[in-house]
Amino acid sequence: MLVSFIAFAGGIAFRSFFDFGIYFPVFLLFLGLILFILYFLQHTNILENVGMLFLFAGITLVSFGLGVLRYDISDIAPPLAEYAGRNIEIAGVIVDEPDVRETHTKLTLKIEKVNETNISQSVKALLVAEQYPQFKYGDKVGVRGELQIPKNFSGSDSGRVFDYVSWLKKDGIYYQMFYPKIELVGHGNGNKIKSALFSIKHALTDSISRAIPEPHASLVGGIVFGAKHSLGEELLDAFRATGIIHIVVLSGYNVTIVAEWIGKVASFAPRYFALSLSSLGIVGFALMTGAGATIVRASIMALLVLFARATGRVYEITIALMIAATAMLIHNPHILIFDASFQLSFMATVGLIYLAPHLQKYFSFITERLGLRDVLTATIATQLFVLPLLLYMTGQLSIVSVPVNMLILAFIPFTMLFGFLTGVLGVISFLLSLPFAWVTYALLSYELTVVDIFNSLPFASVTIKNFPFAAALFLYALYGVTLFYFFGRVKMQK
């Protein structure tokens, strides 16, 4: 099964960069079928070891071909291409939560009409708009502006070309408009459940904003609810330099660690009660953030980690992880190469399942009180397993990441708890929320102070320009060999 998953993912990865036409995967599937037939004939005229080779090659070719074919099916030609570069009128519905930045707001629009003509295909456009007037999920709007096809661009520091087109395409976005004229047509055209979740979240974040000043309010909104409010580039850069950006970005990078800490709070109760509480915490967090594709994928990975910790069955959780990842890739093959959230979540999950348990014995000198040893090993495991990807993506290596995560992650569950209580009680009464707001503010001030102190160090982070993809693959191969060695020793000892 591992071979099938690797080959299927390899086929998607190959097709993400190379297109040899629809007949290429068909040829691979045909060739794999021939090898299967040869394998079943092994008992008559083929040596057994040769037959197994045919079986292995057949599984690899079929799985690889299916990966290429799945990407081919999803790689449709951009609709509405004849309107690109023209000033047009479109009508549609905002299908995601507005992404509020310092100087503008990004809106994802599902186009329904072009110049009063209905369109049958599902196509989205990214609108870069002024911050006012404000719009929300489910709003139906009329838009006038130039419909543009996105273009790839080079990073100012690394010089590497960012495939912006494919990054948007993974979410079904094929076009963009810059500062068009937008007119509100109506409300309530989105999914009713999602609209209700967003309304609850906005009510809670507004309640927090009334009780806690900025940037603390935006920070706790991002940590607790995944609220898309700008923290400012300066603060975000400090978070990146200290390796703590994952607490405010819905990448799924630390959702598992947070879930485990929820379990630690309930450690006085039976083990499975704590596990259930952690699982409910993950599901609740996913729902409160609007259950977007990014956080749903991260939540699935986090639930798998909890299952692995509860059962201790590495083999079974390996199969479950591969099945979950395969299902995600079948649903949307573009996420393998063009969705950093999926990549980071997957690698962090692998680190937590396979590496973190082996690190426990090397940190026996760390107390188990408050789960500090678990936090340390989980932090180191996730940091190591996402490091090659982060170096390739950003070229930024945080030297202080582990101590900063150790000092901050221990307080994140309490920040989430008191931040949540501040929001809920603030809806009822501003005065009732103040005691909890003061505690939340104190926790956030501590966390921001830690970031500020470590970010001020001259060696806080190192920039590695043009970190090659081959180097990242080599590091992951080295990880694999090391883990295989660990597992081999453990089995021998048993």
Number of domains in the chain: 3
Same domain for 87 and 38:
no
pTM metric for this prediction: 0.76
CATH at residue 145 = 2.40.50.140
Say yes or no to pLDDT of 486 above 70: no
Rounded Cα distance, 240 and 461, in Å: 9
Q: Please tell me the predicted confidence (pLDDT) of residue 440.
A: 93
Q: Could you report the per-residue pLDDT of 104-139, keeping only the tens digit for each?
A: 899 999 998 888 788 877 789 999 999 888 898 899
**Same domain, yes or no: 66 and 85:** no
Residue at 461 is within a domain:
yes
Residue 488, in any domain of the structure: yes
Range of 89's domain? 81-190
Closest-CA residue to 151 (of 115, 131, 129, 178)? 178
For residues 337 and 481, state if they share a domain. yes
Whether residue 111 sits in one domain with residue 13: no
H or E segment to which residue 125 belongs: strand 124-129
Q: Give the residue from 59, 74, 89 where a domain finishes.
A: 74
Looking at per-residue pLDDT, the higher value among 275 and 181 belongs to 181
Q: Between these two residues, 258 and 96, which has the higher pLDDT value?
A: 96
- Read off the pLDDT of residues 168-206 as tens digits, 9 standing for 90 and up: 888 889 899 999 999 999 988 888 888 887 888 888 888
Rounded to an integer, what distance in angstroms lies between the CA atom of residue 258 and that of residue 247? 10
Last residue within a domain, chosen from 74, 101, 117: 74
Percentage above 90 pLDDT, the chain = 19
Question: Taking residues 20-30, what's their average pLDDT?
Answer: 90
Pair 112, 93: CB distance under 8 Å: yes
User: Does one domain contain both 356 and 483?
Assistant: yes
Residues 405 and 331 in one domain: yes
Domain annotation covers residue 66: yes
pLDDT digits (tens, 9 = 90+) for 346-391: 888 788 778 888 887 778 777 776 666 777 787 788 888 888 888 8
Q: Helix or strand or coil: residue 326?
A: helix
Is residue 195 in a domain? Answer: no
Verify that 312 and 459 share a domain, yes or no: yes
With cut-offs at 50, 70 and 90, classify the pLDDT of residue 453. Answer: very high
From 147, 172, 190, the end of a domain falls on 190
Q: Is the dihedral of CA 46, 52, 57, 60 positive or negative?
A: positive
Q: How confident is the model at residue 98 (pLDDT cuts 50, 70, 90)?
A: confident
As a whole number of angstroms, the distance between CA 149 and CA 146 comes to: 10
pLDDT of residue 439: 94
- Do 109 and 232 lie in a common domain? no
Q: Are residues 67 and 88 in the same domain?
A: no
At 227 the pLDDT is: 64
Nearest to 160 by CA among 476, 474, 467: 467
* pLDDT tier for residue 492 given thresholds of 50, 70 and 90: very low
